[in-house]
Each structure stands twice: as structure tokens, then as C-alpha cells.
Structure 1
Amino acid sequence: MTVTLPAPRPLPEIAAHVDNELAALDARIDWLLALSPIHNDLLWQSFEASGRSAIPELHYPDLPLDLAATRERLHALPVQEVESSLLSALLSEKQRELERQLELIRLRGSRGFINASLDLFGGVEPTLLALAREIMESVPPGAPLPADAGIDEVLQAVNDELAWYRRIAPDLDCEVVVDPDLGSLMMVSHGRFYVDANIRLPRARIQPLVQHEIGTHVLTRHNGGRQPLKQLQVGLAHYDPLQEGLGVLAEYLAGYLPGERLQVLAARVIACDMAIHGKDVPEIFDLLHRVHGMATDDAFDVAVRARRGGGLTKDAVYLRGLRDLIDYLHEDGDLAALYIGKFALTHLVVLEQLIEQGWAVPAQMLPRCLSDAAARQRLQECRSRPVQQLFHKEPCA
């Protein structure tokens, strides 16, 4: 699906300079990879050997980033001199977020990390924790399916999807990286699509995950790259919840969001809450596996993710973002408006002002799955169903 775009208006000189600098700094501050543990197979082996009672210290990639120099460059930006108060507010907000990300990296592995994470991502509010517990108690798992697909089939689906979008937008930029020590099945970071070299998953889950990563993260980055304001490509401050909500929604629209996937999102909220209160991997794993019946690999992955860096609360944004997105759809919100770039739902009013002033234009492309009649019908279902009912017992035909 494509949209004919009006010609955008260039940013004023100082705003453009600050915007470009913030985008360049955003690309350098890869906090997600900096907080992704390495040697994950050895972690599990050690945890299993201990009788699932202890875990070794987490290790992370080396940091090529000079934190002090990067912070100095960030603070030197003339944000207060930006010609438009509207643009200045957005750029100041992003500047503060990047400062918090640097602090998150600096405090990696220290006692102060959890406070930095709470400052950047927030904690777990009672209503979100209640929703997570309800999902864990009431949502059934999907039909058992064999992990019958590996890296070759995944790469074929990824390349086919990218080829489809590039027929519409030949300049769509997305490098595919096969990583033998990723720690996730697949992910997008700074426009690169990473996939685990050892990936095994049910064939029915390939397309939903491809729609999550490419139909959401890659697509919104591309649409954002067509905007005068580069922050819509790299992400305005606090864009994560909406991005992840759209990603999970894409899995549902693609026809297979199994109950255990929704449970994983709920488990991440519970794990984040436990990490905030000082619980470590063994206690989190025990609750998820023994009490809630999660599979060992899922329970261990969720527990380790929650303890990254010393307690990373980012994982609560997946369920929070989905909940807030579904509330937006219940109020007849326009889904197409959410693909202009990467931003928070709270930025929608600001985006309307940017469009009025010519500093933003509608999305060039919408997700491929929205061209499918069955997906559009599922979207209608989402406009009336609560989050805890958004799952499939088996793949849709």
C-alpha cells in the first residue's frame, strides 16, 4: 500500500543541524546491543549444572563508545537556539533521552543501573502487573507445533519481504545480519535486521515475526527517513512502547499470535517487577517455570532479559505498548497515522502540528499485511476485543 506524498518543507538551519547531530549520536549509542549478554549457551549450561539455583555473572560486548566524549558532544548542541518552539521541544526531549541512554550504558553491571533504567523506561504500574497476571492465569497456549523451520527458511522469508517493499521503494535500506550469538530469534537495531544463526521455530511463526520486525520496525524507519525531521527515522523520545505494540499487533494481523507469545509478554512484565524488587534469575525462573508453567527456554530467556545490566525494565514496554495501542483502536484511532515514523502515542497531536507546518508527511508505505482482506478483518476484531483475547489457538488458514 502506498501513499502519494506532498513535498515536505526543510527544517530551519539550526534545527536541521541539531536534528542531524542527534540522529548521528543515536546511531552511535547502541545501548540495546551494549546490554545484550553474550555466551548465552554457557549461561544456560552453568545454570542447569547448579540445579537451577545460581547463574554466573553476565558478560557483555566490549564498548567502542567513548561515553564522556559522546556526552560532551550531546550537551554542546544548541537546542535552545532552535528556531521553532515546536521543534525545540521535540529535540530537547530526545537530547534528554540520549543522555539517559548513556547513563544506562555507564552504569551497566552496577547497583545504580536499576535507577537509570527506571528513569528511562519507567517501572511496572499496578494495572499493567494485574493485566500480566491475568494473562498468565487465563490465556491458554497454542496448539503444539514442531520447530520445523531454520535459518534458510527464515532468510528466504526476510528477503522476500524486503524485495516486496523494494519494488515500491527501491531505496529501502536494511542490512540482514546472521549472528551466531544473538540471544534473540531476530531483532532490528539501527536499521539492521539481526537473525540468530541457530534459529529454530515453527514454520507458522515465520511470517508473524517477519511482519513484526520488517512490517513494523524496518517500515517505520523507512517512512521516518522520508521526513524532514530525522528523529522520526531514529525515533522520537519514548517511542518504544508504540513500536513494540505495533509489532505484536502485526503478529496478530499476520494470522498467528499464539497464547504463549502473549504469555511471554506478560511474563516479561512480571519479571521486570521482580527485578525491580531485587530478585535474581533463579527466583524469576522458578516463578515463571514452576508456578506459571512456562517452558524452560522461555522462562530462562525472560529471566535473563529482566536482569540485563542489573535490572532492565525495558521489557515491560511490550505489553504496555500493546495495551495502549488496543485502547487507541477501541477509540477508532487511525492505524495508518502510526506508520509515519517512530514516535510515542502521546506525540500524535505534535505530529498533526508538524504536518500542518510541512515538517512531516503521511507514511509512504503501509504494512504489506494490510493489503490482505483477512488481516483487515482481524484489525476490526482488535477494535473491540481486550488485550487478553488477542491470541490464536492455532494458525489461521
Structure 2
Amino acid sequence: MIESITDSFIRKITRSLKRGKQAHRRLPNGGLLYIDRPLPFLVLFRHPAGHPDHATADFLKANASYIISHQERNEELRPLVQSIAKAMADEFGAFMIIELMAAPADTSEVPLFKVLGPEEQLPTTTQTIVKELQTIKLPGIHTSVETAPNEPLLQEPLCLMPEEELKKHSILMLGLQLKPVYKNNATGKVYPLLLRTLREKVANAIKKTVFDFVSVQTTHHPVHFQALGRQVVNRVAWRIDKQLTNISDQFRFLLLVTPVNNNEAWAEFQKAKYNKPPTFHYRLMPIDADQLKRKLYNISIEKVDDPTLGYLFRDKRHELDKMLTMLSDRNSPDFLYSSMQLFGIVDDQLLKVAEGILAAIPEPDAGKDTDIIPVPEFAALAEQEIAFLREQYPALDSGVDVREDVVGLIVSKGRLNVGTDARIPRHRAAALIQHEVGTHILTYYNGKAQPLQQLYIGSPGYEELQEGLAVLSEWLVGGLDQNRMRILAARVVAVYHLTKGCSFTDNFWRLKDEYKFDDETAWDVTMRVHRGGGLTKDAVYLRGLVHLLNYLKEGKELEPLLIGKIRQDYIPIVQELIYRNVLRPMPIRPRYLLDERIKPKLEQLKAGISVFNLL
């Protein structure tokens, strides 16, 4: 920490910026200068003399260029701000300074936001920040925005730059006063959730205002307002990303909640003439859930000052907490309640779609022989598809494992596990390979190619989009048959009745008697839905497909969804991180996006089709 802002210190900062580098320095009395890279704006906050206001200072840390000052006098701060402003105005043709301040805590009549701007100069920029602030909605708090002249910023004791200097160098000075609703007036105690929400919204309003200003007034033309955000991610964020990944990597959730005695349990169920629920056995628990939870909540996510990354990390921690609770409650009634929180329930609309599919598709011909592909042959085809992906991304270290303790097909940690007893119809082989390899393995390694590890371990709720994409890929390659659609619909119906208290045997008989599924299919669906104590995850296949078709109908692109294991509403977050150069372009594309013959189907999706059109 420096004791004073010297001429030499100011020259070093300015020289760094002129060379295109970042400037990140401590200032006297605990102040901070952070400029991510040369940018045509600066956000400023000055702590009130003798009364540090760390809550309001926190608003600045979401920006890519800011100064937080504890200087009680302007003699040292003024030359620093002037030197940065003039150098960047020369670089970009114009510059903008936004000074943030808190209204006095005891004034109840002040608006939530007060914008101080020049009365005549650049009214559109002032209008932009007013409009953006007006869109901020907070529960129980009225959003009021007023404007006033910026004269207080141009006069002592606040003046950092006289008006004639501002005009001479094309520098705009704005002030933004916040009503400190994020603090308790009497105690000064901060409301952390409100502060976090408001900080993120104010940061976006500032970026949009700067975007409007720089796009018109400067030579800097960012492609999007988010491109003005921070590009440098500090070491704390990367450490926390790694800590969350380490916890996630310590257990394989799906394998731990899937029975290891499927064949024996099926034989037991048959012997009881389908009237007594089977006994399931599970893998031994490789972790102590309580100890992992302690580690999880010892991770200091609150130290991440980037609002977007902070949101991602808190979201992931919440999901891991729920998963660990589910593993603790495995094979008990409480398992179901956490599953409903984590994977959701079946609403009336989804149930109606599922029942519509089951009504529309006739039951399969029981006497018809199905050509089953041998497991070694299927594994060889899957290995070929993995090799195709590896050609695009040599670091792809995947493969196929044929295992006795796996039922059907499961992708875990980027590898395809195939059960030795898996019965795969030959006409479905290509579709299932696109489902497992072209979606699940592909998104795992696209996520692994990113510096942010959350993209390969999976964002919370990623399963819905993942399975929607996987099922859609089956249709794109011509392997989504009616029987498959009946099974996806049956899973939704079984999950719905599970959450209404239906027993294993009742769900089995409903699928068999009412919907005419054969014994083994009814068993497979019921086992999957009731495993662990009741797993609602199987409803996400059809729900994800319905939501994905609606997304594509809006004219949105399929490709960005494959950047990693994300959920649909993460797309703006991913896009922001791409604009900020935190994320890289994805290296691997599935076969169906590269095949000219499939393009008409992709166009069909943009035109808008429903699940029933896929039949």
C-alpha cells in the first residue's frame, strides 16, 4: 500500500494504460485503483471523511474501470483522475467519469436514484442512464429516478476537473446518488442479498450508459454493452471454481442412486407376480456428505467481486448441497423431496403433452421381432463417433466402458458406460450414439475446453436442456421412433404419479394395464423413477424437448447451447462471458450440425414445430 499518490506513481499508471496494459494498485488508506484494460470510462467513489462506506464502495467492483478513494482531500486524487482521463480521452477521442455516492442515511424523501448531469451537453447519455435505472425492480421498494445539474461535481470540495478542462478534452462528468436502502439506517448493518441484487443491476445500467456514450462519442466500438465488462478474472474466482469442481468430482451422483442389482430385483419382482415392491441395493457411499457440506460452505464465494461469476458459484453450491442431502437420504422418503427441489415436478401442461403422446401413438406390435445390435458392435460404433469428435479436439480423452454394474447407457465424467445386458435396437443405434456421444460427451469436452470448470461439471439444472438436446439429436439423425417417444411420455406420467404418492407396484401396473407397455419396459420406467426413494429427473427429457422446441421457434440458434453443460437461461450469462473474453469459442460440433442433409430439418425447427410433429 502506498502512503501518498506521487507524480511518479501517476506516471507509472498512465504509462501502463498507454501501453495497453491493466492498472491494479492499492491507494492510500485502503483505497483501490482497478482498470482492467484501457477503456473510455472511469467509475469513482470517495468514502465520506471519517465514515467509510464499504457497502456503497462495493458497487464499483462490478465494473472494469474504477477508483475507490479514502482521500479526504482532492490534492492527490485530482491529478491521478485528470491524468487517466486525459490519456484515455486522447486514446479514444472522448472519456466519461461517473461518480457514485450515497445519499445521507437520514433523508427519507430522496429518490432511489439521482442522476447529476450537464444540463445542455449530451442529454441522450443522461436519458440513457435514467431509462436504465427506471427498469430496475426491487421487491417492496419504489424505483424513483430524478435528475439534477452536475454543478456540485464541478465545484469545491468535490471538483476533480474544472468545466473548461472537461470541454477541452471531451470528457463527460456524471454523478449517480444512491439511496442506501441496502443498509439499516439505525445500525448501519448491510442487507447482503439486496446489496448484491442492486449492485448487479446498477452495474448493468452503467455499462449500458457507457456503451451508448462510447458508441457515439469515441473511436471505441464494443460489439455489446457486456463487452465493457471485466475481462481479467482474479485468482480468487478461479480458486473457487476449482474448489467447487473438486467437491463435484468426489462423487458420481447418477451411479450412486442407480441400483446395482437390477437383474436380481427384476427376477424378485416377477416371482412376486408384480405385487410386491423389489429390494434395491446401491453402491457403497464413497463420501461423507456432512464433511463435504462443511467444505462446501467453507468456500468463500462472497469474496468474488464479479457479480456474474458470483451468481454461477452460489447457484452451483446450492445444487451440490441438494445433491449431498439426497445422497444422505438415499432409499428414504426424504430423498423424493430434495429431488423435487432439484429436478422439478410435472406441471399440468407437461402431463397433458405426455398423455397426448401416449394417446396418439399406438402400442407397439408385441409379436414383432426387433433386431438387437450386439453390445461389442454398438461399443465399436460409439468409439468411431468419439474418434470423429477427437479429430476436432485432440484433447478429448473419452472412451466406452462395457460394465456389468450398469443398466443401459450412462455417460459419467465424459465416458460412455454400456451395460453388458443392454438391448439396443439396431435402427436406434445411430440415434443413441448422437444422444450419448454427440450430446453428453461433446458438451462435457466443450465445457472442459473452457477456463471455467462449471461448464463441464454442469450448471445447476443443466439436465433439462442436455436431455432436450440429446432427444432432439435423435430426431435429427432419423432415429427418434414412436416407441422412444412413448417411453419419454411414460416417464413423465410415472414421475407425476410418484409425486402424488403412488407406490412402485401401482405405477408399474398403470404403465402395463392402462398404457399397454410390455412387462420389461414398464419395469425399466418404474425402476428409474422410483430409484433412490423417488427420482423426478426422468421428467426432464420430455420437458427439455418441449422447452427447446419453443426456444428454437423464437429464431434462436442451436449451436450456442452446446458450449457446455448449461441450462437454457444461462445463455445470456454465457454470451456475456464470451463478450468479455472470459470464455472461448467452442471447439467441437456434433455431426448433425456439419451434415448438409440435415439442414432442412434444422430450418424446420426455426419455422416452429411441436413435439407432436416429431412423431
Q: TM-score, normalised by structure 2?
A: 0.61
Cα RMSD for the two superposed structures: 1.6
TM alignment of 1:160-309, pairs within 5 A: 160-183=384-407, 185-309=408-532
Equivalent AA in structure 2 for residue 22 of structure 1: L
Larger Rg: 1 or 2? 2
Q: 2 CA distance for matches of 1:175 and 1:99?
A: 30
SS in 1 for 2:466: helix
Higher strand share: 2
Q: 2 CA distance for matches of 1:51 and 1:181?
A: 25
How far has the Cα of 1:181 moved from its partner? 2.6
Q: Deviations over 1:308-349 (max 9, x none)?
A: 111111111111101100101111110011111111101111
**What is the aligned residue count?**
383
SS in 2 for 1:182: coil
Q: Which residue of 2 aligns with 1:108?
A: 330
Alignment partner of 1:15 out of 216, 237, 242: 237
SS in 2 for 1:133: helix
Equivalent AA in structure 1 for residue 258 of structure 2: S
* 1:150 matched to 2:374: yes
Equivalent AA in structure 1 for residue 604 of structure 2: E
Q: 2 CA distance for matches of 1:29 and 1:18?
A: 18
How far has the Cα of 1:221 moved from its partner? 0.9
Q: 2 CA distance for matches of 1:283 and 1:349?
A: 43
Q: 2 CA distance for matches of 1:308 and 1:110?
A: 10
Q: 2 CA distance for matches of 1:118 and 1:376?
A: 37
* 1:36 matched to 2:266: no
Question: Given that residues 111 and 310 in structure 1 are in contact (C-alpha distance below 8 angstroms), is that contact kept between their aligned partners in structure 2?
Answer: yes
Q: 1 CA distance for matches of 2:494 and 2:380?
A: 34
Question: Given that residues 475 and 614 in structure 2 are in contact (C-alpha distance below 8 angstroms), is that contact kept between their aligned partners in structure 1?
Answer: yes
The 3 A distance-change label for structure 1 pair 215 and 207 is same
Between the aligned residues of both structures, percent identity stands at 34
* 1:380 matched to 2:603: yes
Structure 1: runs of 5+ lacking an equivalent: 1-7, 392-397
Q: 2 CA distance for matches of 1:50 and 1:375?
A: 48
How far has the Cα of 1:276 moved from its partner? 1.0
Equivalent AA in structure 1 for residue 275 of structure 2: S
How far has the Cα of 1:140 moved from its partner? 3.8
* 1:25 matched to 2:247: yes
Q: Deviations over 1:42-90 (max 9, x none)?
A: 1111111111111222211111112121111111101010131110011
How far has the Cα of 1:255 moved from its partner? 1.0
Question: Given that residues 25 and 70 in structure 1 are in contact (C-alpha distance below 8 angstroms), is that contact kept between their aligned partners in structure 2?
Answer: yes
Q: Which residue of 2 aligns with 1:47?
A: 269
Q: Which residue of 2 aligns with 1:159?
A: 383
The structure with higher relative contact order (CA 8 Å, sep 6+) is 1
Q: Deviations over 1:265-284 (max 9, x none)?
A: 11111111111122122111
Q: 2 CA distance for matches of 1:14 and 1:310?
A: 38
Question: Given that residues 117 and 313 in structure 1 are in contact (C-alpha distance below 8 angstroms), is that contact kept between their aligned partners in structure 2?
Answer: yes
Question: Given that residues 240 and 300 in structure 2 are in contact (C-alpha distance below 8 angstroms), is that contact kept between their aligned partners in structure 1?
Answer: yes
Q: Deviations over 1:166-195 (max 9, x none)?
A: 122111021422111312x21101212100
Equivalent AA in structure 1 for residue 266 of structure 2: W
Q: Which residue of 2 aligns with 1:88?
A: 310
How far has the Cα of 1:142 moved from its partner? 7.0
Q: Which residue of 1 aligns with 2:568?
A: 345
Alignment partner of 1:73 out of 292, 295, 298: 295
Q: Deviations over 1:85-122 (max 9, x none)?
A: 11001110001100000001001111211111111111
Q: Runs ≥4 in structure 1, deviation > 6 angstroms? A: none
Q: 2 CA distance for matches of 1:363 and 1:139?
A: 38
How far has the Cα of 1:198 moved from its partner? 2.1
How far has the Cα of 1:199 moved from its partner? 2.2
How far has the Cα of 1:229 moved from its partner? 1.0
SS in 1 for 2:411: strand
How far has the Cα of 1:377 moved from its partner? 2.0
Equivalent AA in structure 1 for residue 610 of structure 2: P
SS in 2 for 1:130: helix
Alignment partner of 2:581 out of 347, 351, 358: 358
Equivalent AA in structure 2 for residue 125 of structure 1: D
Alignment partner of 1:322 out of 545, 548, 552: 545
Question: Given that residues 186 and 195 in structure 1 are in contact (C-alpha distance below 8 angstroms), is that contact kept between their aligned partners in structure 2?
Answer: yes
Q: 1 CA distance for matches of 2:327 and 2:528?
A: 15
Q: 2 CA distance for matches of 1:11 and 1:318?
A: 35
* 1:99 matched to 2:321: yes
Higher helix share: 1
Q: 1 CA distance for matches of 2:314 and 2:274?
A: 45
Q: 2 CA distance for matches of 1:140 and 1:169?
A: 43
Q: 1 CA distance for matches of 2:516 and 2:585?
A: 44
SS in 1 for 2:373: coil
Q: 2 CA distance for matches of 1:248 and 1:231?
A: 23
SS in 2 for 1:28: coil
Q: 1 CA distance for matches of 2:261 and 2:433?
A: 25
Q: Which moved more, 1:138-147 or 1:331-340?
A: 138-147
How far has the Cα of 1:148 moved from its partner? 2.8
